[in-house]
Chain A
Amino acid sequence: MPEAGTVTKVFARPRSLTDKHFTYCPGCDHGLLTRIIAGAIDKLGVQERTVIIAPVGCAVFAYEWFRCDGIQAAHGRAVAVATGLKRANPHLIVISYQGDGDLAAIGTAETVHAANRGEAVTVIFVNNQIYGMTGGQMAPTTLAGQRATSCPEGRDVRTMGYPLPVAEMIATLAAPAYVTRQSLHDPRHVAQATKAVEKALRYQVEGVGYSLVEVLATCPTGWKMPPAVAHQHVADVATGTFPLGDLVDRG
């Protein structure tokens, strides 16, 4: 028990992060989510078993931010790489970190089939409703009417399709152990998302199976919104299209 007047650290940098600075834009939720994942790795004590798979997208450097083994995957193929790693060495804790263009457009087949096989990996799905890295083009998750550089008049769902409900789609499958959609737009939701990431990782450690944690995230640069306004937009608008909560929990 500390003595009266003891100074204690109540928030410290997770041990599973390296000292490298994130390359994200100011206020980008990618950074926040990276910190949450590192915290979950710390909490579960699996830093020495974990492999982080970085996608092609703004998170392409993700493998360098964790004090864990890491690998960079081709665009959309991260979860196939995860499958190879986990099948080759089931002792590894494998985290596939993917954006919405990566996971829900070019990598749709890999996403669906890894989930359907119940690969014992953790998929973190950053749904920022845009292609951040390539300069703000339309993503499969771009909201109806939302402007992007490749739909300057806004997404017309009649010709460009509807925002893809990934968590709902994956939740229709029999194999996934945990499917959830979370958000980071305020501290309460950050705390909930933290618990969801921890649970997903714990399910892998305990051998329960495949998890998908979809996270509604901001792209202040692509959305052309200040970071705080972008968080408000998630709360007011994005959650309307993408409702939050657990969809599957077979733990």
Chain B
Amino acid sequence: MPNGKVVVDRERCKGCGLCVGVCPFGVLELSATYNSSGYPVVAVAHPEKCTGCALCALTCPDVALEVYRERAVAGPKVGSSAESPTEHR
């Protein structure tokens, strides 16, 4: 199982929760912590479950998420991240 890692830019996050809803593995949760703009910030509650599929980042309206993947083999496993126009390999 490839290991993913999602990084939240706390200052960009507006706590809209869209990423929470699209993550297939329940990695993200809305937290009770706030950023300097007063928005609640999403928390990576279960980092060990992250596959690095990047669905959350594809959905985030504020480009607050970056996704990394630790790979044993080359190439992404999930189609939608391959469709990300900003994927850098």
Identify the A interface with B (CB < 8 A).
1-2, 4-14, 17, 21-22, 24-32, 35-36, 38-40, 42-43, 186-188, 190-191, 194-195, 198, 220, 226-228, 231
Interface pairs A-B: 5 shortest CB-CB: A39-B85, A27-B16, A31-B61, A26-B14, A11-B57
A2/B74 contact (C-beta < 8 A), A26-B15, A226-B17 known: yes
- A27 near B61 (CB under 8 angstroms)? yes
- Given known contacts A26-B39, A40-B85, A42-B85, is B80 in contact with A7 (CB within 8 Å)? no
Q: Which of B39-66 contact A (CB under 8 A)?
A: 39, 52, 54-55, 57-63, 65-66
Number of interface residues of B (CB under 8 A): 42
| Pairwise interchain contact A12-B58, C-beta atoms closer than 8 A | no
Q: Is the CB of B84 within 8 A of A8?
A: no
Q: Are A12 and B66 in contact (CB under 8 A)?
A: yes
Q: List 12 A-B contacts (CB under 8 A).
A: A2-B71, A7-B71, A9-B66, A10-B54, A10-B68, A11-B65, A11-B67, A27-B61, A39-B85, A39-B86, A43-B85, A228-B17
Q: Evaluate whether A1 and B74 lie within 8 angstroms (CB atoms) in the complex, with A21-B12, A42-B85 already known.
A: yes
CA–CA, A228 and B88, complex, Å: 28
CB-CB < 8 A to B72: which residues of A?
4-5
- Contact between A10 and B67, CB atoms less than 8 A apart: yes
Assess the A14–B22 pair: CB atoms within 8 A. Answer: no
Chain B's closest residue to A30 (CB) is: B61
- CB within 8 Å of A: which of B1-22? 4-5, 11-12, 14-18, 21-22
Question: Do B70 and A7 touch across chains, with their CB atoms under 8 A apart?
Answer: yes
Among B39, B63, B73, contact of A31 (Cβ-Cβ < 8 Å): B63
B70 to chain A, nearest CB (A): 5
B contact set with A: CB distance below 8 Å: 4-5, 11-12, 14-18, 21-22, 39, 52, 54-55, 57-63, 65-74, 76, 80-81, 83-89
Determine how close the nearest CB of chain B comes to the CB of A226; give it in whole angstroms: 7
Q: How far apart are A34's CB and chain B's nearest CB, in angstroms?
A: 8
Interface centre among A26, A187, A228, by most chain B C-beta atoms within 10 angstroms, is A187
- Considering the chains assembled together, what is the distance between the CA atoms of A144 and B82 in angstroms? 38
Contact of A7 among B11, B65, B69, B84 (CB under 8 A): B69
Given A194-B83, A231-B18: A187 and B71 within 8 A (CB)? Answer: no
Chain A residues near B17 (CB-CB < 8 A): 27, 226-228
Contact B14 A42 (CB under 8 A): no
B63 touching A35, Cβ below 8 Å: yes
Across the interface, which residues of B come within 8 angstroms of A198, CB to CB? 85
